[in-house]
Structure 1
């Protein structure tokens, strides 16, 4: 038996208000949206980051909070149903609405948010690329908190391993496993946020679509790397050649992100 770090048993319910439990999982979504909104407000209030030309304003970011929340929840759930467990939900359609039981797809949430942001940009008559850039600059905040919530629940644990920091997760059997939720929180959340933070400070917002492209490529690469340590969903398993659904869904993100970066670099930067 290798050395195993004790899994910190944390009650997935933070507090109960009467018969209503407030779970860490839900709190992570709420905190991610609120903190993302606050950082987005900071970004749009800094003209020096954008250069000349129209940019989203504070009122637009207020609307964005509502649009993004709907996009994340609806897109994330629909993506999970379609990509990860369609036969089950076809047999049990009412379970689609039981969000408290878990089951959200990042790629579905990302697509849903992209659609919601495009609708908002059209309604506001502003550049959809610039609005995408704001969203992508703040998304890693929510990803970080969401992965921490996955760890607390616990769910989406890693593959069996004998590394010194392995853990035995409740419900995952007796084998020590990678704490892959923490790997993802670090790569997809913290590291990606810092990369985008530096890119913004270096003028990335002056080239519409550049932050979006960096995010898509960065997330896709981080997710694929993390999938090598994460146990695949039991209803899917490995698809072919050791690939997982998370890997396959990340490949189009990297390709589209590369197109965004290429387009942005061919566009003349907006100068103050």
Structure 2
């Protein structure tokens, strides 16, 4: 086999606990991303002399927002007719196979839905504890790419959300599906998000005051969803109806996020100029 082709055939399940509950790479990677994001955010709070209890409350809101938003986003954006007919499968990790339900874990989380869910959850947190919304968004924006990196690594371990054929003698063969060399788009995205994290940390460390509310969040939206929009051109469509679209659902959903990000950046630049 050509040394520029990687054969990938990993079992997504690491271990079966009591032969009934599967411990999967995706869940492990997701949990790792959340833990590392919390660790970095904790250091930021300590640096700014903010009580850690505030972060603990915020992360609870964010975690629920991510999970619920990502799950509902997948169900509503990509396959609403199926899930409206099988509502139990929206919130429970089960699937009806034949005449009975079987535990399969949650299969289907949409990053755009997770983003929307996070924004709503942070809004609820800020309203309850009377915090500045954009200030909180900036703090969460710094660590968000960490979670995104590990989610895409989890997708790679699962051999899912992969790319189109490379039509050459390089790529990754996801043997659980076919024997065609494909773009490892999960790794493309993971690298893009890691780079975004580095840029946002650099911008944050260069700041000497808290007058840039919304700037880091705006940069996050532009970098993450621009990368997502571009990489989608190399991805296989996730659902059949996307094959009839000029740009797919992931790209359509990315455009509003990019626009909002650009608006926040331009607003910040204008406020800086007005204070000069």
Larger CA deviation: 19-28 vs 36-45: 19-28
Take 2:55 and 2:168, find their aligned partners in 1: how far apart are those partners?
44
1:15 aligns with 15
Q: Following the alignment from structure 1 to structure 2, what is the Cα–Cα distance between the partners of residues 80 and 175?
A: 27
**Do the aligned partners of residues 268 and 122 (structure 1) sit closer, same or farther apart at CA in structure 2, a change above 3 Å counting?**
farther
- Compute the displacement of 1:179 (Å): 0.8
1:255 matches 2:259: yes
RMSD (Å) for aligned C-alpha atoms = 2.1
Residue of structure 2 equivalent to 1:67: 61
Residue 210 of structure 1 aligns with which residue? Answer: 215
The alignment covers a number of residue pairs equal to 260
Task: Spell out, residue by residue over 1:123-167, the C-alpha distance to the aligned partner (whole angstroms, 9 max, x if none).
Answer: 111111111111111010000000000000110010011344312
Provide the rounded CA distance (Å) in 1 between the counterparts of 2:60 and 2:30.
13
Q: Does 1:80 align with 2:74?
A: yes
Higher strand proportion (structure 1 or 2): 2
**Is the aligned partner of 1:148 residue 2:157?**
no
Instruction: Give 4+ residue runs of structure 1 displaced > 6 Å after superposition.
Output: none
Contact 1:216 1:254 in 2 (8 A): yes
Residue in 1 that maps onto 2:177: 172
Cα distance, 1:171 vs structure 2: 4.0
Q: What SS class does the counterpart of residue 228 from structure 1 fall into?
A: helix
Contact 2:170 2:181 in 1 (8 A): no
8 Å contact kept, 1:133–1:205: no
- Is residue 108 of structure 2 the alignment partner of residue 108 of structure 1? no
Contiguous gaps of at least 5 residues in structure 2: 94-104
Match of 1:52 in 2: none
